[in-house]
Amino acid sequence: MNCRQLPGQSISPFPNLRDTPACAKASAGRPTCAKASAGRPTCAKASAGRLSAFAEGESACGGNRETPCEFQPLPAAEIGSLSPERGSLLLIALWSLSLLTIFSIYLAYGVRYKVSLLERLDSRDNLHFIAEAGTKKAIFELMKDEPSQYDSLNEPWGNNENIFKQVKTGYGYFNLIHDYLDSDSGSRKVRYGIVDEERKVNLNKAELEVIRRIIMITAGLEQADAESLAASIIDWRDSDSKLTIPLGSAEDRYYRSLPNPYEAKDAEIEVFDELLLVRGMTEEILEKIKNYITIYSNGRININTAGGEVLMALDLNDELVEKIISFRLGEDTLEATFDDNIFISLSDIISKLGTFSELTPEEVASLSNLISSGKITTSSSNFMARSIAQLDDRQMEAICIFDREGKVLSWREG
Ligand SMILES: [Ca+2]
Ligand SMILES: [Ca+2]
């Protein structure tokens, strides 16, 4: 019987330990070593690296000092390298450490993301409030405009850097701007102020020919295409399902045949993006016509504020439109300045224009028809503020439509 051959059991799970001289020698003739091997108290302890004294051997030998075990302490490094349990513990510790590291990184990333998100949301909230302050400023300034029969481009709400440019609020500031076509340079420039919606063609109220002309003039479409698109807009908003023109316009039947079918709205347009659902309308066309159309005005065009494109859409010829624009500019030939001429009421349009520039009988007739048709006016009742909020290096644009009483009709920010 020796340390390797105890019946009914494996002597030791630590083969290297069995081969130590101490164990081999004990197994050769020392029952105490066999006992120790059978119970494995000393081997187990040795394997754990805890057997460091001869007293351990004595314990394994039943305390018989005459037949002492000759176990000798093993070098710590050797014991450590021999211990699967210790290796397992080390492996578990390493795995735990790795998992903790990964978890910590994940946690830190999550916290950082949430902090960043909160900062962005906070910044966006602040930008929203700054932009909103801009629109309130616009409404406040409009309220100061005395009610009158006319509204013109040179009024304080329309062009005033002193009250609409870089207005500080909180840690940021806002600008109230709108762009316009500069007749001298032919390019679009920025003006500080708000614009009236009555200077634009109302797609919910205008007749087919007016819509067709404003599309042709501003988007450059051919007459047939412009008419088709204008008719489709009419069909989109009217309550019936009859085609405005037999070929080219669209009602339910056309929209139902699309890959993603839908129906004509048969009600007034509520948002500009809705126009992209109308047959023939594209983002490119909408971009070109957006400054000349509205869905919020009273439907009549303000002859004091409308641009030449809109006046031509009312079927006034080029020469007559030129005379109206020149009259409005005043002596300095600049738009929206102190010396601008103004049509106070509908009744003085022909007389004032005739005094400023000679009118042909055809032009007088054209103006008379336009006035009696109810398509034009000299005042405005709905306005648009484009508020640009700035906070540090971040910016937000808000577009607010409101009436003269300050009631907000539309709010859009992006
Ligand atoms: Ca319809
Ligand atoms: Ca002027």
Residue-wise pLDDT tens digits, 113-152 = 777 777 667 778 899 999 999 999 999 999 988 877 899 9
pLDDT in tens, 47-75: 444 444 444 444 444 444 444 445 555 55
Q: Considering the domain boundaries, does residue 285 fall inside one? A: yes
Q: What is the predicted pLDDT for the residue at 280?
A: 97
| Ligand 2 centroid – CA 135 distance (Å) | 26
Q: Considering the domain boundaries, does residue 176 fall inside one? A: no
**Using the 8-state DSSP alphabet, how is residue 68 labeled?**
-
CA dist 105 → 100, 102, 115, 233 (Å): 9, 5, 15, 56
Q: For residue 335, which amino acid is it?
A: E
| Ligand 2 centroid – CA 153 distance (Å) | 9
Which residue carries 């009859």 as its tokens? 242
pLDDT in tens, 76-111: 555 555 577 778 888 888 888 888 888 888 888 777
* Residues whose Cβ atom is located within 5 A of ion ligand 1: 235, 238, 264, 266
Q: Considering the domain boundaries, does residue 224 fall inside one? A: yes
Q: What is the predicted pLDDT for the residue at 74?
A: 53
Domain boundary among 296, 326, 350: 296
Burial class (CB in 10 A: 0-12, 13-18, 19+), 189: exposed
| Ligand 2 centroid – CA 288 distance (Å) | 27
Asked if 236 and 265 touch (Cβ cutoff 8 Å), the reply is yes
Q: What is the predicted pLDDT for the residue at 252?
A: 96
How many angstroms separate the CA atoms of 204 and 173, rounded? 35
Q: Considering the domain boundaries, does residue 74 fall inside one? A: yes
Q: Considering the domain boundaries, does residue 381 fall inside one? A: no
Q: Considering the domain boundaries, does residue 238 fall inside one? A: yes
**Ligand lying nearest the CA atom of residue 337:** 2
pLDDT in tens, 375-398: 999 999 999 999 999 999 999 999
Q: Considering the domain boundaries, does residue 351 fall inside one? A: no
| Ligand 1 centroid – CA 206 distance (Å) | 15
In 3-state terms, what secondary structure has residue 268?
coil
Which residue carries 């018989």 as its tokens? 64
Domain boundary among 273, 296, 319: 296
How many angstroms separate the CA atoms of 150 and 111, rounded? 58
Domain boundary among 267, 296, 325: 296
pTM over 0.85: no
DSSP, residue by residue, 361-411: HHHHHHHHHHHHHT-EES---EEEEEEEEEETTEEEEEEEEEETT--EEEE
**Ligand lying nearest the CA atom of residue 332:** 2
Domain that holds residue 36: 15-82
Q: What is the predicted pLDDT for the residue at 69?
A: 47
Q: Considering the domain boundaries, does residue 52 fall inside one? A: yes
User: Which CATH number is 264's domain given?
Assistant: 1.10.40.60
Please give the tally of structural domains in the chain.
Answer: 2
Comparing CA positions, the residue from 195, 189, 227 lying closest to residue 211 is: 227
| Ligand 1 centroid – CA 100 distance (Å) | 65
